[in-house]
A = this chain, B = another copy of it.
Amino acid sequence: MASMIELIQNGGVTSPQGFIAGGVYSGLKTQESDTLDLGILISEHEANLGAVFSNNSVLSPSVTVSRSRATTGKSMGVVANSGCANCCVGSQGEHDAIEMTTLASQHLGLGETDLLVCSTGMIGVELPMALIRQNIGNITPHNDGGSEFARSIMTTDSEEKHLAVSLDIENTKVIIGGCAKGVGMIHPNMATMLAFITTDADIDQKFLQDATKKAADLSFNMISIDGDQSTNDTMLVFANGGSGSATIDEKSPYAENFQEALNYVCIELAKKMVRDGEGAKRLIEVIVDNAPSLKDAQLAARSVSDSMLVKAMVHGNDPNWGRVMMAVGNSGAKIEESNLDIFINEIHVVHEGKAIPYSIEAVVNAMDVPDVSIRISLNTGNFNATAWGCDLTEDYVIFNSAYST
């Protein structure tokens, strides 16, 4: 964490000033204790908006409606449901997405197009609008509702994913909070995931959009659970200026501080998602350094973190670095085989493209920890990138061969 950023205990999307949120159970999912499936997050004043959406060609109307409204660069907040992706349901999907925002806006006394909408869950079934109509009025957004909102967007997630940090902007304390969901169908370029970031910093809208894209590229676009990306991914950043801080635009001396803090929040949320990956027992951090370009570093890091054989090898504590070489070689990154060094949890296993003598038992033991780091030095430049993945386990297969039936 950059030194000027402080973590807020139990922080989330309602930690910044002027944001309220809440959630209810409306019957979209099977109820267990604490199950919520419909939530609202709003800003007390209109916020500037940064947004990134799935680039899948098959898109949920919840995405297309939000994407269209997001072009104004302004929003009051978002209504979100889990349990149903509102996807592949024909024209009914757009109708339902719009109705969901209208119902929430009427309940809260907001304008018709003030809210965005997100959906996550099964593809191919229509939103049960009767249940939504019946229950949406029971949501009471409040100052402490971040955790409720985070819970209402969970699908197969085993826990809520949220955090918040504070930083100083010209002696004013500003807060960035965030929450996210998604533990399957996760792959670079906005996979089945929703992420909501709030801040009471005052951020110029154009800069906010650029900062949002940058943060997504370093975090949610560098994780992979199963290489599949979904139809509903959405990342929204709301900046409402509630802290009274100076406005930050791209030329502000604080632009970089804000970007770093935003990156930090997004990367931490992304890592929480990977750690909670379906069936996953380990976090795999793949660092590629000394690459000839950022693109080469990112390609190589993603290829390794996405390889099924590397994922399976980590599951078995197996320092089978030939698979890492194979994945780097496949990545499309510019490499010189005879320059490559590989480190597994900082134990040097390959030097100049060849195995170096190491104790296999020591590496097996070193790998038997929750976080496994694989570092590949390309040694042909000065660029670095980090990607995150999870191990591939029998549980992933069991889980995903019996999801809908």
* Residue of B whose beta carbon sits closest to that of A391: B401
Which of A57, A124, A307, A353 counts the most chain B CB atoms within 10 A?
A: A57
Residues on B with C-beta less than 8 A from A333 are 57
Q: Are B326 and A231 in contact (CB under 8 A)?
A: yes
Residues 313-349 of A, flagged 1 when their CB comes within 8 A of B and 0 if not, give 1011111111101111111010101100000000000
Residues on B with C-beta less than 8 A from A59 are 329, 337
Residues on B with C-beta less than 8 A from A360 are 405
Q: Are A325 and B58 in contact (CB under 8 A)?
A: yes
Residues 230-252 of A, flagged 1 when their CB comes within 8 A of B and 0 if not, give 11000000000000000000000
Q: Does A103 contact B (CB under 8 A)?
A: no
* Residue of B whose beta carbon sits closest to that of A315: B401
Q: How many residues of A contact B (CB 8 A)?
A: 66
Report if A355-B124 is in contact (Cβ < 8 Å); known contacts: A350-B88, A397-B393.
yes
Q: Does A52 contact B (CB under 8 A)?
A: no
Q: Are A308 and B231 in contact (CB under 8 A)?
A: no
Q: Are A322 and B397 in contact (CB under 8 A)?
A: no
Alpha-carbon distance A122/B309, docked complex (angstroms): 13
Interface stretch, picked from A25-33, A172-180, A194-202, A221-229, is A221-229
Q: Are A318 and B396 in contact (CB under 8 A)?
A: no
Interfacial residues, chain A to chain B (CB-CB below 8 A): 56-59, 85, 87-90, 122-125, 184-185, 226-231, 306-309, 312-313, 315-323, 325-331, 333, 335, 337-338, 350, 352-355, 360, 364, 392-394, 396-398, 400-405
10 contacts between A and B (CB under 8 A): A88-B350, A88-B355, A122-B322, A316-B403, A318-B401, A318-B402, A320-B404, A392-B400, A392-B401, A394-B398
